[in-house]
Structure formats: C-alpha cells, structure tokens
C-alpha cells in the first residue's frame, strides 16, 4: 500500500478539454503535454491553482514540490515576499508609461556592477528577445551574416534559431547557421577558415544542457581557446545564459568557466517570475546595440524592473549559487542512494543547481518515464527529459520528502517491470 496518496487529475483533464476548444493545442509550447513529454498524460496536472515557496497546487487541489520552477524563473520561491513587496510598491507609483521609469537605469547599473563582462545592459521581455537582440548586435557590429552554434542548442523560438524541419521555418531562415559538435577545436578553426570573414558570432550555452541527453560540461580549456579564436578572427562570442544565469555564478556563467563573453543573455532568474530579459555586453559593442531598431510596448515597464532589483539583490544576499549547489547536492545524493537500493542506476548530470536525471537500466526512455510519472503522481514534480532547477525556498524537509517519494516510485516501477530485475 502506498505511503503517499495517489493523485487524481480529473479536473485538469476537464480544463484541458475546455482549453482545446479555444486555444490551439490546449496548452501550446513546452508547458503542454506534447512538447513537455508528459507521459503518461493522465499522471500530470495541466493547470495550476496557486503557488507558494517551492510548491504549486493544481486545479484538483494536489500539492507538488516543484523542481521545474516554471522552467526556471522561480529562483527564490513563488510569491517571494521581498520581490512582491517591491512590485506592489512600484505598482502604486507607475508601471507602463509613455516615458520610462528611472528603475531601468537603477537595474542597468546593478547589472553592470554584478555581471563580470557587462559594460552596459539592454532589456526585453523573454529569453528569445535577448538572444535575438544579441545576434542582431553581433551582425550590426561585424557586418557579417553567419552564426556558429553547438550541437543540442536551444536559443529561442525565432525562425533563425529553429530547425529546418520545424513547421513554419523556411530554408532561408536558417541558411546562415552552422552547427558544430562541442569540444572540437580543430573543426571549429577549420570551419572559421573555410568561412573567413563571414562569421558574425558564436552563440552557445555555457555548457551542454539540452533535452533528452545527459548534460555535460565543456572539456578543460575549451572556453579559453574559443575566446582566443573569436578575438583573433573578430568574431563576437555570445553566451546564452538564459537558463543557467545566476545559478552557477552571480557574475555570469562565463565567469564560472573562466573566460569573458562579448555578449551574455539572461532571463529566467532575473525577476523571480516577472517578465524581464537582458543582454549585456562589452564597451566595443555599445554603439552597435544602440543602433538596433529593437523594442517593444512593455520592454521598459517599471514593475518588472523593481522585481529584478529586489531579486538580484536577494540572490546576492543569500549567496544563491552556493545555496543551490548545496541543496542540489543533498537532493541528488539521496536520489542516487534510493535508486541504487532498489536496483536502479540513476544517472545525474549537470551542476546540482540545474540537474538532469536519467535511469540507465534500459536504453529506452520508458522506464525513466514511468518512474518520473510515479513521482509526479505522489507530489514531486519532475520532468522526463529536461534539466531541473533548485530554488531558494526549497527546504531540507522538502528534500527528505522528495527522496521518500522517489524511493516508493522506484519500488513501484521495479514491481511493474520484474523482467528487468531477474
């Protein structure tokens, strides 16, 4: 008999059916069941009702310890009192106004003071805005077209950074993209030589944290060598720190790996759920950035800047990277131990602050998906094929409960697949 009550998500299914009548796909994008890989779909909640700290509740009233953290933005915990206080105070004064609030200046100064490679900051609303702006800035500066990316890349949803076989993407949208494997310096140098004076930039995540595979750090010396190559060939080096930013190093993930980017993009951890993104850069790119015809109706709204200021200052005050690493290490140690005790080889990869999980007992994804679904059905929200996030509201009690639920889920899956454990 289960120690943890199994969840019912009947109302979520009803809401999804209702949504499907008026919203394409019901829930589109990565939050939906198709792209999110919610398998089996009846184990997963479709809609939330409330959230607090490290938890959210679905429309059926089920409570989850949330390790997806809204896919990263919940860095301090849902409804963080310090961030929300700053938001409410700013809301009383002004938000979206014809002239921007001076909050934009205050936050830009904070970013320049915080991010190691930043001499200036440019703000938008989501990660795609930031990466696209950085690409435009690099092309404006170099007057070149081509962009180098690394295998497993995800830099947003604009056509230029999608795959040729994706619906709505034209061959000309991606004609100037070059995809290379990680850690192959000779091939990188060869490619640059073959496209001499044509490469505008290299854009990359600080390490390989794509979906459906173990996350991996770059080899020793990789980034300093890439930095050297870019400088030698007048190529702008862009780090997409949208996902990992401020979780490894408050000075930026390039600083964590021992080099300096020319442009660095942030989003998820900037404002604890309020919509804000940024790309920051070095002095020599200032004029190119200011030349861009690139803006939006809400890009200078004051309230999200107030949230950003409160969020970044709190991340500094609590030494967030160390906290995330410590909590993540505690969690992963317990999960691996529970897996081993039940006969499972649970592979953990990436930094503990942004960990990836994979059951390696069989080559398919089915066993892993089953285990993840059993965890979700008991109140621990993991995703099957995406990295996870630690937030500052997570407690040791949450971690202990997570390990207990994971242990029971391992036992259920083992019982359901006796053929694998003969």
Read off the pLDDT of residues 229-286 as tens digits, 9 standing for 90 and up: 999 999 999 999 999 999 999 999 999 999 999 999 999 999 999 999 999 999 999 9
Structure tokens at 381: 């929200």
Read off the pLDDT of residues 332-374 as tens digits, 9 standing for 90 and up: 999 999 999 999 999 999 999 999 999 999 888 889 999 999 9
Q: Please tell me the least confidently modeled range out of 4-13, 39-48, 369-378, 407-416.
A: 39-48
Chain centre distance of CA 411 = 31
**Cα angle value 345/347/351 (rounded, 5°):** 155
CB atoms within 10 A of CB 259: 20
**Burial class of residue 80 in the structure, from the number of CB atoms within 10 Å of its CB (0-12 exposed, 13-18 middle, 19+ buried):** buried
Where are the domain boundaries for CATH 3.40.640.10 in the chain? 82-317
Read off the pLDDT of residues 168-191 as tens digits, 9 standing for 90 and up: 999 999 999 999 999 999 999 999
CB atoms within 10 A of CB 414: 17
Read off the pLDDT of residues 185-218 as tens digits, 9 standing for 90 and up: 999 999 999 999 999 999 999 999 988 899 999 9
What is the rounded average pLDDT for all residues in the chain? 96
pLDDT of 56 > 80? The answer is yes
% of the chain with per-residue pLDDT over 70: 100
Where are the domain boundaries for CATH 3.90.1150.10 in the chain? 10-78+320-420
pLDDT of 1 > 70? The answer is no
Answer yes or no: are the C-beta atoms of 145 and 139 closer than 8 Å.
yes
Q: What is the third-level CATH fold of 10-78+320-420?
A: 3.90.1150
Whose tokens are 């056509």? That residue is 159
Q: What is the DSSP string of 165-188?
A: TSTT--GGGSTTEEEE-TT-HHHH
| CATH class held by domain 82-317 | alpha beta
pLDDT bracket for residue 15 (50, 70, 90): very high
Beta-carbon contacts of 369 under 8 Å, excluding residues fewer than 6 positions away, are 37, 39, 40, 384
């Amino acid at each position: 008999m289960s120690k943890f009550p199994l969840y019912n998500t009947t109302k979520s299914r009803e809401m999804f059916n209702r949504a499907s009548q008026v919203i394409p796909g019901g829930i589109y994008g990565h939050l939906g069941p198709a792209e999110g890989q919610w398998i089996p779909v009846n184990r997963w909640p479709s809609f939330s009702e409330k959230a607090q700290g490290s938890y959210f509740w679905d429309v059926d009233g089920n409570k989850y310890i949330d390790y997806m953290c809204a896919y990263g933005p919940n860095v301090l915990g849902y409804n963080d009192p310090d961030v929300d206080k700053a938001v409410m105070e700013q809301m009383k004064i002004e938000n979206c106004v014809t002239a921007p609030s001076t909050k934009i200046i205050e936050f830009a100064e904070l970013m320049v003071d915080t991010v190691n490679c930043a001499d200036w900051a440019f703000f938008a609303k989501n990660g795609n805005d930031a990466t696209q702006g950085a690409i435009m800035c690099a092309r404006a500066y170099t007057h070149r077209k081509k962009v180098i990316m690394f295998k497993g890349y995800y830099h947003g949803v604009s056509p230029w950074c999608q795959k040729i076989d994706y619906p709505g993407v034209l061959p000309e949208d991606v004609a100037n993209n070059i995809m290379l494997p990680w850690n192959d310096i000779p091939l990188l140098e060869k490619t640059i030589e073959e496209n001499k004076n044509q490469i505008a930039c290299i854009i990359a995540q600080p390490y390989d944290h794509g979906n459906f595979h173990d996350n991996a750090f770059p080899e020793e010396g990789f980034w300093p060598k890439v930095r050297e190559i870019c400088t030698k060939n007048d190529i702008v080096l862009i780090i997409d720190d949208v996902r990992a930013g401020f979780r490894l190093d408050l000075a930026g993930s390039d600083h964590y790996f021992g080099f300096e980017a020319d442009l660095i993009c942030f989003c998820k951890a900037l404002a604890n759920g309020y919509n804000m993104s940024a790309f920051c850069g070095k002095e020599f790119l200032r004029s190119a950035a200011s030349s861009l015809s690139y803006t939006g109706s809400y890009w200078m709204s004051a309230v999200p800047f107030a949230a950003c200021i409160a969020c970044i200052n709190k991340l500094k005050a609590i030494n967030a990277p160390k906290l995330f690493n410590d909590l993540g290490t505690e969690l992963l140690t317990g999960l691996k131990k529970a897996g081993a005790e039940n006969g499972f080889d649970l592979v953990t990869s990436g930094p503990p602050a942004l960990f990836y999980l994979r059951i390696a007992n069989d080559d398919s994804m089915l066993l892993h998906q089953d285990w993840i679904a059993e965890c979700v059905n008991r109140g621990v929200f993991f995703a099957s094929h995406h990295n996870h996030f630690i937030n500052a509201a997570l407690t040791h009690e949450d971690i202990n409960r997570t390990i207990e639920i994971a242990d029971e889920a391992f036992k259920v899956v083992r019982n359901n697949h006796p053929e694998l454990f003969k």
